[in-house]
Amino acid sequence: MGKRYGLFDPNIRLILFFLKGYPVTTQKKETFLKEYTPPAYLVDRLDLRVELDPQATRVRATLRCRPNTNTPVKQPLVLNGEQLELVRVALDGVELSATEFHFGDGLLTIAQVPDGPFMVETETRINPAGNTALEGLYLSSGNYCTQCEAEGFRTITCFPDRPDVMTVFTTTIVGDTASCPVLLSNGNLIDSGDLGDGRHYATWHDPFPKPCYLFALVAGDLVRISDTFTTRSGRQIDLHIYVEERNRNKCDHAMRALQKAMRWDELRFGREYDLDTYMIVAVDDFNMGAMENKGLNVFNSKYVLALPETATDTDYEGIEGVIAHEYFHNWTGNRITCRDWFQLSLKEGLTVFRDQEFTADMISRPVKRIQDANIIRSFQFREDSGPMAHPVRPPSFVEINNFYTLTVYNKGAEVIRMLHTLLGPETFRRGMDLYFERHDGQAVTCDDFVAAMADAWGKDLTQFKRWYSQAGTPELTVRADYDPAARQLILTVEQTCPPTRESAEKLPFFMPLAVGLLDAQGRAMPLENAPDATTRVLILSEAKQRFEFTNIASTPTISFLRNFSAPVKVRLDQSDEELGVLMAHDPDPFNRWDAGQKLGLHHLLAQIERHQQGQPVQVDDRLLHGLRNLLLDRDSDPAFLAMAMALPSENWIGQQMEVVDPVAIFAVRQQFRALIGQALRSELLQGYETLRIPGPYRYSALDAGKRALRNGCLAYLLAPPLDGVLDPCLLHKGVHQYRHADNMTDAIAALSCVVNADLATGTELLADFHAQWQHDPLVVDKWLILQAGCTLPGTLDRVKALTTHPSFTYKNPNKVRSLIATFCATNHGQFHAADGSGYDFLGDQVCLLDPLNPQIAARMLTPLTQWRRYDAGRQQLMRAQLERIGSQRSLSDDVKEVVERSLH
């Protein structure tokens, strides 16, 4: 028997011991936007000296402070400081006695400070090896790294840990020469040397004032991959990616992505990089994707490392997008930052919009738009209708880490996109330029951003700002009345928005609705007031509004909400015939895709009802006909066709149901896939053969699209019939592809098909896969994902067994996400088993994770927050788990906030 890990891992017990050793901080209170007050003191300069030691790192800080002129009344100096041991405090060079300061409840308070500028020095001790929360300074694979956003800096040293205090940092790192040959921090290296005692040091100076959440420190045994970038003004920037030796050969794609992002930001937004060096460090243990620390990004290795044989096309695309996102933060986030954390979307929504635009230019605009709209509809809408619903600018929070959400990020990006649609690209760009010109070097609010846009546009955006203050997804009801005699179409649009925590009554939103009309033959009808003659952008601002279309020669088919021009739900009755016209002819690719989704949804929902009544599932000919046309389409982008071939997601189907029946949704969707696989067998086989790409693997958008479509064909062919056995010839195709693939995309696609079709063969191939890749953590994640996502019976038991497998550890967030979140958040058919076993499992996992890593524990809880959407039996079982978690003796603020919001 192998070594036991998991709960009984001796290392974990050691860590629990260290956690207990920390001073206990009291429970956080809810913070409110309306209570914002400017900082009483600013810190112009911070000199840090960090002497690294795994258990006892010594941090000496010198803060040059001055009173903030905006605060009239003299106040004590209050610095944040948590989970650290305070050794010494001095004011203007004089050590303070115990009565001259107070340290407790996460704050260091010095009551008496001089009227003018003054200097505070502190010495603190911290324990990076005991830090499993991965916030502040911690160790990953033996290397030191930091994560300070949002409030991690206060666990490194005492400081006003708030983004509106912007400081010039100079950081000296002292470390063991042998184990930490590399010592990095933000900005430029200004000094380094040997200390003669087995240690060396490096001093970094960052000339750009920044909030402390952008501070970073990295130290360890890393290799450097370098290249350069020449800016449009001719400056040469050194680009370095730091990784562990074993990953040296996996950085080419990330480096190219960085160079592309740098060029793109110059061309599209006129933004040039400012420092002389740009560094990226890849670490395996990281709570999220990456972090935009000034000049020194720290990345989850998942978003840096790629080789054709280890990374899929999706990974390649993800790397390009995340590298770009963090790079774009240099202007939207770092040079112009947030005044307070309520303004998080100021940087995140805007930066997501920028990375979406970048990826659209790198791959395909329609494909990217469909992907992003899918995220909103499948996941953000769900968040918006659950207990964690909050506006893009939340009015309050207990733990800010719980508000790094789809709403702040992705809906925030949709809000920016609506501005882009309303203003048009040129005016939008002028608004961006104005924003940069006005606020460079400042910590500002979402209001400041919208003001720049309003000024560039010359119109008032007061009503538009409701998107920042009202949560919930607006629902539009659209009625179309065509009068052939008057050749007139009237669209009547009504908007409502369900009540949410922060506001029961919603005022109407202001939004652009892009609309086109098609005639019976599918031709675009010319429209008056339409900039491109066929798409008109209606501006909805009232609760109910009428829009007239004149000179409309025949009954039109309406293409509503083109390009998903607003993040809303739409009710517009359209027949299958109309959807067929849109599916075949809509010049707007988003709506062409969406028409197919609507048709699929319509049939799936009807069959789910039949299934619930015990009747057999059938697939309508119209749907098969539509899918066949897609398979025979040789003109469209294969990536688009791959998405059009996919059935609506289980989440999206669930959102159309009054009471979500996850098991029925899963079963019917599976049967649809199997029935489609049988009915279109020859077309799918033909597609599978003709889409084969000759030659070795190369990542390109076109090839990735072809692989996606081809693997989509394979997935339909291998969809297991619920009441029968899969044709062994087809299974063999999957096995063959897995064994002969020269790249991870094709290998994993085939393996996934086999694992979900035949348990015995799947188990055999999984063992082979593990034997081959057990030393590559990112590939092991894929191995876990396949098993946790397996839709054949018995997955929960296999997942439980995997929690004690040597390849799994609770200390690595990627592993936890791969195993636990894949099962609980994506394997709906099994997680929602009526006996509550899935919920019970998640309850256990959250309790187990919370003392180790509260951020990750709180994320894992998401599926349980949705309990109100299910039938009474499931509601009770899910609720019971939330209550069980809530009753744990010591619970993090992160998990407590999610549990409490979910139950009350």
User: Counting Cβ atoms within 10 Å, is residue 481 exposed (0-12), middle (13-18) or buried (19+)?
Assistant: exposed
Segment near Zn ion (CB under 5 A); pick from 342-350, 393-401, 554-562, 606-614: 342-350
Under rule CB under 6 A, residue 327 binds ligand B3K: no
SS3 call for 495? strand
Name the token pair of 876.
């009770």
Q: Distance between CA atoms of 746 and 729, rounded to whole angstroms?
A: 18
To the query of whether residue 326 is one of the catalytic residues in this protein, the response is: yes
Name the token pair of 320.
């390009």
Min CB(354)–ligand B3K separation in Å: 11
Under rule CB under 6 A, residue 404 binds ligand B3K: yes
Residues 347-386 that bind ligand B3K (CB under 6 A): 348
| Closer of 222 and 288 to ligand B3K (Cβ) | 288
Min CB(410)–Zn ion separation in Å: 11
Residues 6+ apart with CB under 8 A from 642: 705, 708, 709, 712
Min CB(323)–Zn ion separation in Å: 12
Min CB(135)–ligand B3K separation in Å: 7
Is 480 within 8 Å of 459 (Cβ atoms)?
Answer: no
Distances from the Cα of 732 to the Cαs of 464, 729, 751, 758, 761, in angstroms?
56, 5, 11, 11, 10
Nearest residue relative to ligand B3K (C-beta): 149
| Closer of 288 and 583 to ligand B3K (Cβ) | 288
Residue 149 contact among Zn ion, ligand B3K, none, beta carbon within 5 to 8 Å by kind: ligand B3K
Segment near ligand B3K (CB under 6 A); pick from 21-29, 283-291, 482-490, 867-875: 283-291
Residue 288 contact among ligand B3K, Zn ion, none, beta carbon within 5 to 8 Å by kind: ligand B3K
Dihedral sign from CA coordinates of 391, 28, 136, 167 = positive
Residue 393 contact among Zn ion, ligand B3K, none, beta carbon within 5 to 8 Å by kind: none
Phi, psi of 58 (to 5 degrees): -100, 130
- CA–chain centroid gap for 509, Å, is 25
Contact letters for Zn ion, residues 232-271 (x by CB under 5 A)? ----------------------------------------
Q: Distance between CA atoms of 722 and 496, rounded to whole angstroms?
A: 41
Residue 206 contact among ligand B3K, Zn ion, none, beta carbon within 5 to 8 Å by kind: none
Q: Distance between CA atoms of 774 and 772, rounded to whole angstroms?
A: 6
Min CB(408)–Zn ion separation in Å: 10
- CA–chain centroid gap for 34, Å, is 27
Q: Distance between CA atoms of 705 and 206, rounded to whole angstroms?
A: 42
Phi, psi of 193 (to 5 degrees): 175, 175
Q: Distance between CA atoms of 273 and 283, rounded to whole angstroms?
A: 24
Min CB(149)–ligand B3K separation in Å: 4
Under rule CB under 6 A, residue 898 binds ligand B3K: no
Q: Distance between CA atoms of 534 and 522, rounded to whole angstroms?
A: 13
Segment near Zn ion (CB under 5 A); pick from 348-356, 746-754, 820-828, 863-871: 348-356
Q: Report which secondary-structure segment, H or E, holds 229.
A: strand 223-230
| Closer of 150 and 601 to ligand B3K (Cβ) | 150
Q: Applying CB under 6 A, which of residues 113, 137, 217, 291 lies at the interface with ligand B3K? A: 291
* DSSP secondary structure string for all residues of 326-349: HHHTTTBTTTBEESSGGGHHHHHH
| Closer of 376 and 748 to Zn ion (Cβ) | 376
Q: How many CA atoms lie within 13 A of 694 on its CB side?
A: 1
Under rule CB under 6 A, residue 121 binds ligand B3K: no
Cis previous bond, 150, omega within 30: yes
328: left (phi over 0), alpha (psi -120 to 50) or beta: alpha
Is 108 within 8 Å of 101 (Cβ atoms)?
Answer: yes
Is 41 within 8 Å of 160 (Cβ atoms)?
Answer: yes
| Residue in the block written with tokens 């998107």 | 467
Q: Applying CB under 6 A, which of residues 326, 578, 588, 703 lies at the interface with ligand B3K? A: 326
Under rule CB under 6 A, residue 285 binds ligand B3K: no
Q: Report which secondary-structure segment, H or E, holds 254.
A: helix 252-269
Phi, psi of 609 (to 5 degrees): -60, -45
| Residue in the block written with tokens 């309050």 | 396
| Residue in the block written with tokens 């509503």 | 560
Min CB(290)–ligand B3K separation in Å: 6
| Closer of 269 and 457 to ligand B3K (Cβ) | 269
Residue 401 contact among ligand B3K, Zn ion, none, beta carbon within 5 to 8 Å by kind: ligand B3K
Q: Distance between CA atoms of 864 and 889, rounded to whole angstroms?
A: 20
| Closer of 19 and 352 to Zn ion (Cβ) | 352
Name the token pair of 211.
């909030």
Q: Distance between CA atoms of 683 and 710, rounded to whole angstroms?
A: 11
| Closer of 121 and 292 to ligand B3K (Cβ) | 292
Distances from the Cα of 455 to the Cαs of 394, 420, 428, 461, 509, in angstroms?
25, 14, 11, 9, 20
For residue 653, the one-letter residue type is I
Under rule CB under 6 A, residue 150 binds ligand B3K: yes
Under rule CB under 6 A, residue 149 binds ligand B3K: yes
Min CB(733)–ligand B3K separation in Å: 40
| Closer of 136 and 508 to ligand B3K (Cβ) | 136
Under rule CB under 6 A, residue 292 binds ligand B3K: yes
| Closer of 325 and 673 to ligand B3K (Cβ) | 325
| Closer of 354 and 869 to ligand B3K (Cβ) | 354
Min CB(292)–ligand B3K separation in Å: 5
What is the b/e burial string over 802-838, where b = at least 16 CB atoms within 10 angstroms of the residue's CB?
A: bbebebbbbbbbbbbbbbbbbbbbebbbbbbbeebbb
Name the token pair of 67.
């009173």
Is 768 within 8 Å of 750 (Cβ atoms)?
Answer: no
For residue 678, the one-letter residue type is Q
| Closer of 150 and 525 to ligand B3K (Cβ) | 150
Segment near ligand B3K (CB under 6 A); pick from 287-295, 311-319, 567-575, 762-770: 287-295
Q: Provide the H-helix boundaries in 613-661.
A: 621-632, 638-645, 650-655
Min CB(351)–Zn ion separation in Å: 5
Segment near Zn ion (CB under 5 A); pick from 63-71, 205-213, 347-355, 696-704: 347-355
Length of the chain: 904
Residues 250-279 that bind ligand B3K (CB under 6 A): none
Min CB(404)–ligand B3K separation in Å: 5
Residues 6+ apart with CB under 8 A from 259: 227, 229, 239
| Closer of 134 and 461 to ligand B3K (Cβ) | 134
Segment near ligand B3K (CB under 6 A); pick from 171-179, 323-331, 744-752, 846-854: 323-331
Segment near ligand B3K (CB under 6 A); pick from 284-292, 434-442, 775-783, 882-890: 284-292
Min CB(403)–ligand B3K separation in Å: 9
| Closer of 151 and 315 to ligand B3K (Cβ) | 151
Number of chain positions touching ligand B3K (CB under 6 A): 12
Segment near Zn ion (CB under 5 A); pick from 350-358, 474-482, 574-582, 592-600: 350-358
Min CB(409)–ligand B3K separation in Å: 7
Segment near ligand B3K (CB under 6 A); pick from 51-59, 290-298, 522-530, 552-560: 290-298
Q: Which of 149, 320, 326, 348 is catalytic?
A: 326
Q: Applying CB under 6 A, which of residues 154, 162, 271, 325 lies at the interface with ligand B3K? A: 325
Q: Which residues bind ligand B3K (CB under 6 A)?
A: 149-150, 288, 290-292, 325-326, 329, 348, 401, 404
Catalytic site positions: 326
Q: Which residues bind Zn ion (CB under 5 A)?
A: 348, 351
